[in-house]
Amino acid sequence: MGIHEVKSEVRSQKSELKRAVFLDRDGVINRALEKKSKPYPPTSLAEFEILPEVRAACDKLKAAGFLLVVATNQPDVGRGTLRQEVVEKIHAHMLAQLPIDRVEVCYHAGKGLSDCDCRKPKPGMLVHAAKLLKIDLAQSWMVGDRWRDVDCGHAAGCKTIFIDRGYAEELRQKPDFSARNLGAAADIILAQTKK
C-alpha cells in the first residue's frame, strides 16, 4: 500500500465518524427532584417526568444528524438505596418516548466507595459510547446541569453546554455555553453547527 492510499484510508475513516449530543438525564431530560437546592433522581417511574421541551429538542437534533446518547450517574444503585430494575424501567420508558440512540449508566457508588472510569466527571461513558457508535468526540457536545457534566465533556474533548438550574453547587470549569433548558441548548448546537 502506497503513502497516498494510507492517507485516503485515514480520511475516509474520519469522515465516517458521527457527531453526537451526550445528555445528562436528571435535570436535562427529566425533572430532577430538588431537596435543599440539590438535585436527586426519581425513585420510581411515577416520579419520572420528561420536561416539556425535550421531545422537540431531541427531534431537531436527530433531524440535523446527531446521535443522542444519555450519560447518567446513578450512584444510589451502588449505595443500595435504589434498585437497578427501577432505573432500567425508567430508561425503557424514556427510550419509548424519545429518539435516544443509547443510554450509558454508571451505577458505582462514588463518594470514595468506588473507583471507576465511568463515573462523571471522568469521561468513560462518553469514550465507551464513542467506540461503540463511531462518534467523533471533538465534533460532539455534552449537555448537563451539574459541574460533573461540564468537566466530563471537557475531559472527553466535547463542547459543553451547562443548563443552569440554580443548584447550590459551583462549577469547576467554565462551560462553552449556558442555556436555560434542552430546547435552548439544541438551538445553540444547531446555530454553532451551521458556522
Residues forming the active site:
24, 26
Grid cell of 185 as nine digits: 441548548
Q: Residue 50 has what DSSP assignment?
A: B
H-run or E-run covering 63 = helix 54-63
Q: What is the largest CA-CA distance in the chain?
A: 64
Report residue 178 CA to chain centroid gap. Answer: 15
Q: Is the peptide bond before 121 cis (omega within 30 degrees of 0)?
A: yes
